[in-house]
Structure 1
């Protein structure tokens, strides 16, 4: 086999392995992102489903939040909190003894309830544009099964390739 084919095969293999690792990492992150859970090394991921934070965060973006000390939060930071069973990601407007006042960047009024420590989930660490669309798409059982099948084929290919 020529050197170019060998190099291309190695590059293709690395790309496939990285893609599988990324999909598995996101799947584990989502699985562990319950508000009351610890997340994945303190990180949790959520899909933006409303336009309340536009233009900073758009519908279909994905936010990764990190559990932080509630007392260390500062005005201007973006946090995620639980409100009546929904995850909300908004900016801190002010901090009082009663809690944290938040508002979406696109909203003209502050949120009705202040965020208290028991409702606080984490501070935004990373935001990944458009990834939330993929995460919603992956919730379709057929799509999820196809992706799992492709991962299984990838693993089988790696095992067979090693034995060549």
Structure 2
């Protein structure tokens, strides 16, 4: 029973480390001016304009798709000045640009989205992960999480190897 608990803890801690690293890497590549991670980018929802589809604090994953493949009803991320906005396509204008609107908004966005402003189409959301991402931006919390990961790695390096050697000797 004790071995099963240890294996479960090791497995969960490995998944946690992998998950934190994956999100950190994805966030690094989420700047629209930088290359994406195989076409994927991640963003935290920071407004309620897409309620109930997207909630404040959700984390969304977008994928670069051809601008020409987009359709009415698709949820896309785009640049609006210095802000990244994620809204639903309401219609396509004759010049090819898209009119968008947040699900919770009564009126369409003022600026139509062109191919230059378009970032990607939303693939899926991870509820509440964005709240965790914001929470991790606190230097004290971030430092604590990194210390826990480093401690776990040190335990694996110094104690995990010794246990394997002892098992081989017996």
TM-score interval, smaller chain: over 0.9
Unaligned runs of 5+ in 2: 164-170
One of 43, 46, 49 as aligned partner of 2:43: 46
Q: Give the corresponding residue for 1:110.
A: 108
Mapped partners of 1:147, 1:51: distance in 2? 29
Contact 1:98 1:114 (8 Å CA) reproduced: no
One of 116, 126, 129 as aligned partner of 2:127: 129
Instruction: Give secondary structure in 2 for the equivalent of 1:163.
Output: helix
One of 5, 10, 15 as aligned partner of 2:12: 15
One of 94, 97, 100 as aligned partner of 1:99: 97
Scaled by the length of structure 1, the TM-score of the pair is 0.94
- Bigger radius of gyration: 2
Instruction: Give secondary structure in 1 for the equivalent of 2:62.
Output: strand
2:147 matched to 1:149?
A: yes
Q: Give the corresponding residue for 2:161.
A: 162
2:83 matched to 1:86?
A: yes
Number of residue equivalences? 161
Q: What is the RMSD of the two structures over their aligned residues, measured on CA atoms?
A: 1.0
Which deviations, in whole Å up to 9, do the C-alpha atoms of 1:31-58 show, x marking residues without a partner? 1110122222211111111111001111
The within-5 A match list for 1:69-84 is: 69-84=66-81
One of 27, 31, 48 as aligned partner of 1:34: 31
Mapped partners of 2:72, 2:162: distance in 1? 57
Mapped partners of 1:79, 1:14: distance in 2? 35
